[in-house]
Amino acid sequence: MPAAGIDDAALAAATLRRQAWDRRLTHLWLILGVLVFAFPVWITLVGSTHDASTIGRGDVPLLPGGQAIANYTAAWTSGGEGRYRASPASLMLWNSALMALLIAVGKITISLLSAYAVVFFQFPGRMLAFWTIFLTLMLPVEVRIIPTYQVIVSLDLFNSMAGLTIPLIASATATLLFRQFFLTIPDEYVEAAKIDGAGPVRFFRDILLPLSVTNIAALFVILFIYGWNQYLWPLLVVNDRGLETIVVGLAKMIGNGDAQNEWNIIMAMAVLALLPPVLVVVVMQRWFIKGLTETEK
Amino acid sequence: MATLDVAGVTKSFGTTQVLHGVDLTVADGEMIVIVGASGCGKSTLLRIVAGLETATTGRISIAGRDVTGLEPADRDIAMVFQNYALYPHMTVGQNMAYGLRIRGLPKPEIAQRVTEAATLLGIESLLDRRPRQLSGGQRQRVAMGRAIVREPKLFLFDEPLSNLDAKLRVQMRAEIRRLQRRLGVTSLFVTHDQTEAMTLGDRLVVMHAGHAAQVATPMEVWARPADTYVAGFIGSPAMNFLAGTLADAGQAVALAAGPVLRFADGPRPGPEGLPLTIGIRPEHIEAGASGLTLPLDLVEPLGSETVLHGRLPNGEALTVKLAGPAPAGPAIQVTLPAAALHVFDAASGKRLDR
Ligand SMILES: Nc1ncnc2c1ncn2[C@@H]1O[C@H](COP(=O)(O)OP(=O)(O)OP(=O)(O)O)[C@@H](O)[C@H]1O
Ligand SMILES: [Mg+2]
């Protein structure tokens, strides 16, 4: 009970006031957060619309300029006139996209199949196989980079898309995720399928794959971005300019000192490099949110 | 024409033996209910018949064909699971059609069979829904439909009603029975619910610790239980057991509680003084003005009848079920009618007959 003399209308008004303040504070905090995260992206976007000399003077413009079309055309077709003659963005974007796609699809395919084998079949050495896969978690590309490089060179895969992607495809993370998911699938589905007469291949195709769709979509997004952001390995294993990826190309465009950087072109290139991952997230997100809300079982 | 023969089936998981030699012959079109306490091996037996589990020893034949070494798909059976196991990403229609599609039946025939089964079960309007858009009872029907469309030689049910609420369970029970009669498909039905067992089965298999304790019609199991386990398992409230010894040259039993009762149906073989267990169902005990005094410690009124729990002066528990309201007073007088006695050998627990 409220103390005597305080009526309910005053209490309600006080509650409203407090809620309004809560809302304002929350929003203030959120807006600050957005600013911190979005500001660099905004600077890049704005920078890509000015000419080289504006940025060269050391100004950091906060409003868009008029050179957008020229900058983007230059980035797309030639990669600019700078000290480091980068490849055109069109080529590097294609290389990056192909690499990221191959890595994502390759990883998902291999992990689905190996998780299927480990979870649903009894064979000698099953646990050994599982633990071997598990152990490779401790050996990411960076750790095994020298021997991997040696292997790729010996296999004559230096400077090839295969050499670029295959070492990155081998990974345990996705296998483990699928294994965990498969373990939650009730035995009854397997048994019902057996009675229905579905062999291992049909069970995989007709039942396991459709049930895994949301997992596959989520993993695809993560793995595509993982592949897209690869830097060290592509830098090592490819020196053919025709196979250069955009992350590597972008880094190479930024020189260290003696000559002017074409910041306008670099920023246009950076914006272009951002787009495909964003696109993948947007498209796939719709898909796996649909899957999540319509969750089966 | 499909019969089922289970011959000497045993099953061990590692070192623990779960089935100790089960024999069972099922006639064409018969509905057999396997009933027993949890963990007695009912599901294991059913899964061995289905081919989902391999028997350690023994043989399974369906319609005279030895299927012991065959895959489930080659045994021409259909199974309804406890949680239905409907594929969540397929519609009801696709779920029902899946087995037929794999067998490569022509599309029009699949469609026709699915429609027929759906009509039979009253689920025509649900064919385009997903399993998660169905109620428990509807899922149950779809699971039945998936079994029916296959037109198998043998239906296997593993506690298909245990996820339903009490009312729906009674309704689906009757429906399954009608359907099974109508289709005339030989069936094995596993349950731990004795009402379900009594009402559904042409015959019951009462399982106890990996053995078939008794295989008989429901009435036979109720009226002439083969041993004390079956006697105590079937019937509610459970049968009373009283200790006694064989007396009067096998003509009577001397109860530890006092009275000597003459058997109504003739003498039992055995030496004088042989320890016996006498069973009597609570509903057969009569209350009256004379007889044994039974002090009551719990009275359960059930409306049309009353269940009374008490302890005889010698310490043995006795449950009595009387028609009508509870009698007044802290004790009643009971008599045990000779015709209602079940006589078991105390050592082996086996029924002793004339
Ligand atoms: N795969 C297995 N590995 C080891 N033991 C098992 C396995 N499956 C069943 N068992 C054991 O076998 C015994 C019988 O199991 P089963 O599932 O047949 O019992 P049930 O009669 O169906 O019981 P419920 O009524 O609880 O379903 C149990 O003691 C169980 O622990
Ligand atoms: Mg069971």
- Asked whether residue B256 falls in the same domain as residue B212, the answer is no
- Asked whether residue B280 falls in the same domain as residue B189, the answer is no
Residue of B nearest to A213 (CA): B89
Is A83 contained in some domain? Answer: no
pLDDT of A170-217, one tens digit each?
Answer: 778 889 999 999 999 999 999 999 999 999 999 999 999 999 988 898
| The domain boundary residue, chosen from A12, A45, A77 | A77
Residue A218 pLDDT grade (very low, low, confident, very high; cuts 50, 70, 90): confident
Q: Does A122 touch chain B (CB under 8 A)?
A: no
Is A82 contained in some domain? Answer: no
| The domain boundary residue, chosen from A49, A77, A105 | A77
- Asked whether residue B183 falls in the same domain as residue B265, the answer is no
Q: Which residues of A touch B152 (CB under 8 A)?
A: none
Maximum pairwise Cα distance, chain A? 89
Write the single-letter amino acid at B40.
C
- Among the bound ligands, name the one nearest to the CA of residue B36: 1
CATH number at residue B34: 3.40.50.300
- Asked whether residue B130 falls in the same domain as residue B212, the answer is yes
Is B350 contained in some domain? Answer: no
Q: Does A40 touch chain B (CB under 8 A)?
A: no
Is B162 contained in some domain? Answer: yes
Residue A293 pLDDT grade (very low, low, confident, very high; cuts 50, 70, 90): low
- Among the bound ligands, name the one nearest to the CA of residue B206: 1
- Cβ contact, residue pair A196, B132, below 8 Å: no
- Asked whether residue A146 falls in the same domain as residue A43, the answer is no
Is A84 contained in some domain? Answer: no
Is B129 contained in some domain? Answer: yes
- Asked whether residue B156 falls in the same domain as residue B257, the answer is no
- Asked whether residue A51 falls in the same domain as residue A173, the answer is no
- Asked whether residue B213 falls in the same domain as residue B261, the answer is no
Q: Which SS3 state, helix, strand or coil, does residue A149 take?
A: helix
| The domain boundary residue, chosen from A77, A102, A125 | A77
Is B352 contained in some domain? Answer: no
Unique residue bearing structure tokens 């386990």: B229
Is B242 contained in some domain? Answer: yes
A291 pLDDT higher than 60:
no
- Give the best residue of B49, B75, B79, B188 to mutate against chain A (max A CB count within 10 A): B79
Predicted ipTM of the assembly: 0.84
Query: What ranges in chain A are assigned the alpha helix state H?
Result: 8-47, 52-56, 68-77, 89-120, 126-135, 145-154, 161-169, 173-183, 187-196, 200-202, 209-228, 232-237, 246-253, 263-293
Is B168 contained in some domain? Answer: yes
Q: Which residues of A touch B82 (CB under 8 A)?
A: 188
Residue of A nearest to B87 (CA): A189
- Asked whether residue A105 falls in the same domain as residue A229, the answer is yes
Q: Does B83 touch chain A (CB under 8 A)?
A: yes
- Give the best residue of B46, B82, B87 to mutate against chain A (max A CB count within 10 A): B87
Is A192 contained in some domain? Answer: yes
- Asked whether residue B247 falls in the same domain as residue B212, the answer is no
β-sheet with B65-66: strand ranges across: B16-26, B4-13, B57-62, B65-66
Return d(Cα B315, Cα A23) in angstroms, integer: 73
- Asked whether residue A96 falls in the same domain as residue A27, the answer is no
Is A118 contained in some domain? Answer: yes
- Asked whether residue B211 falls in the same domain as residue B177, the answer is yes
Query: How far away, in angstroms, is B159 Cα from ligand 2 center?
Result: 7
pTM value?
Answer: 0.82
- Asked whether residue B161 falls in the same domain as residue B256, the answer is no
- Asked whether residue A121 falls in the same domain as residue A248, the answer is yes
Query: pLDDT at position A231, please?
Result: 93
CATH number at residue A273: 1.10.3720.10
The residue-averaged pLDDT of A6-30 equals 91
- Asked whether residue A243 falls in the same domain as residue A97, the answer is yes
Number of structural domains in chain B? 2
Residue B25's H or E segment, with its range, is: strand B16-26
Which residues does ligand 1 sit against, CB inside 6 Å?
B 13, 18, 36, 38-44, 192
Residue A296 pLDDT grade (very low, low, confident, very high; cuts 50, 70, 90): very low
CATH number at residue B286: 2.40.50.140
Q: Which residues of B touch A186 (CB under 8 A)?
A: 83, 85
- Asked whether residue B205 falls in the same domain as residue B242, the answer is no
- Chain A, chain B: beta-carbon pairs less than 8 Å apart: 57
- Asked whether residue A118 falls in the same domain as residue A192, the answer is yes
Q: Does A195 touch chain B (CB under 8 A)?
A: yes
Return d(Cα A55, Cα A265) in angstroms, integer: 11
Query: How far away, in angstroms, is A281 Cα from ligand 2 center?
Result: 45
User: Residue A38: CB partners within 8 Å, gap ≥ 6?
Assistant: none
Q: Does A185 touch chain B (CB under 8 A)?
A: no
Distance of CA A255 to the CA centre of its chain: 26
Number of structural domains in chain A? 2
| The domain boundary residue, chosen from B225, B253, B286 | B225
Q: Which residues of B touch A207 (CB under 8 A)?
A: 87, 89
- Cβ contact, residue pair A194, B88, below 8 Å: no
Query: How far away, in angstroms, is B211 Cα from ligand 1 center?
Result: 14
- Give the best residue of A195, A295, A297 to mutate against chain B (max B CB count within 10 A): A195
| The domain boundary residue, chosen from B204, B225, B246 | B225
- Cβ contact, residue pair B77, A188, below 8 Å: no
Measured between CB atoms, which of A186, A189, A195 is closest to B73? A195
Is A252 contained in some domain? Answer: yes
pLDDT of A34-71, one tens digit each?
Answer: 999 999 999 999 988 988 888 777 777 888 888 888 88
- Asked whether residue A110 falls in the same domain as residue A67, the answer is no
Angle at B341 between CA B338 and CA B344, to 5 degrees: 140
Query: pLDDT at position B51, please?
Result: 94
A129 pLDDT higher than 70:
yes
A297 pLDDT higher than 50:
no
- Cβ contact, residue pair A196, B99, below 8 Å: yes
- Which residue range(s) make up the domain with A281? 89-293
Q: Which residues of A touch B83 (CB under 8 A)?
A: 186, 188
Query: How far away, in angstroms, is B351 Cα from ligand 2 center?
Result: 28
The alpha-carbon gap from A277 to the nearest alpha carbon of chain B, in Å, equals 29
- Asked whether residue A110 falls in the same domain as residue A188, the answer is yes
Question: Which residue ranges in chain B fall short of pLDDT 50?
Answer: none
Q: Does B99 touch chain A (CB under 8 A)?
A: yes
- Asked whether residue A194 falls in the same domain as residue A67, the answer is no
- Cβ contact, residue pair A296, B85, below 8 Å: no
Q: Which atom of ligand 1 is nearest to the CA of B210?
A: 14
Query: How far away, in angstroms, is B76 Cα from ligand 2 center?
Result: 22
- Which residue range(s) make up the domain with B258? 237-345
**Phi, psi at B202, each rounded to 5°:** -70, -40
Distance of CA A70 to the CA centre of its chain: 29
A272 pLDDT higher than 60:
yes
Is A29 contained in some domain? Answer: yes
- Asked whether residue A26 falls in the same domain as residue A166, the answer is no
Query: pLDDT at position A251, please?
Result: 87
- Asked whether residue A153 falls in the same domain as residue A260, the answer is yes
- Asked whether residue B129 falls in the same domain as residue B103, the answer is yes
